[in-house]
Amino acid sequence: EFVTETGVRIQVLVHVLDDKTVVALHKDITQSHETQERIAFLASHDALTGLCNRATLYDELYKSLQPDSASANLTLLYLDLDSFKQVNDSMGHPVGDKLLHQVSERLQECCRSTDLVARLGGDEFAILMDPEETCNKEGSVTLSRKIIASVCEPFHVDGRQIQIGVSIGIAFTSSRCRTVEDLLKNADMALYEAKSRGGNFLQAYDQELDE
């Protein structure tokens, strides 16, 4: 295969016949190649926002928490948008979809390029902070506050100004939390507590939430 200067991808099949004649077949595979790339992308990414999807996040969590993994100290943020349902109900799903796309862009701007930002579905997102970097409670709280401040800034969609917020639950791996299931559960419990406080709030998991 080779790619021309105009971006056309050509596949060349060369055959040597019994009489030593050489036949070269040239085929334009640009469209099929792009289709395969698109299928591979959609298997691991969210079609609306382009962020990683739930399956990719879970794969990374399981890989990072293998017994022989060096990056076993993880920090996971669960995010849920505040007042997003009202936007969908009052302005329609097309506006809601454009709003989600803008939210995803702001999340990526707040995070490092090595952080994994995922859309779990609906108005729920997750961020797996880079396990190769030092991730502690202070760092995750700083990032969460940055995200809340960014999402609270007005959005502009189709000439309309939209104001929403975001609630964030934070969970860490520890001696008591060494499995993906425990980490997800703890992040979900912390998010539930943050939502119960009225939104635009961050909550780090602690054992009192279990009680």
Q: So which residues are the catalytic ones?
A: 123
CA distance 140 to 146: 10
Which residue shows structure tokens 């635009």?
200
What is the rounded radius of gyration, in angstroms, for the C-alpha atoms of the chain? Answer: 23
Rounding to the nearest 10 degrees, give the CA dihedral for residues 198, 204, 210, 211.
-70
CA distance 13 to 52: 36
Rounding to the nearest 10 degrees, give the CA dihedral for residues 11, 16, 20, 26.
-20
CA distance 189 to 209: 7
CA distance 182 to 53: 20
CA distance 157 to 149: 19
Instruction: Name every residue whose Cβ is closer than 8 Å to that of residue 142 and which is 6 or more positions away in sequence.
Output: none
Residues paired with residue 140 on neighbouring β-strands, in sequence order: none
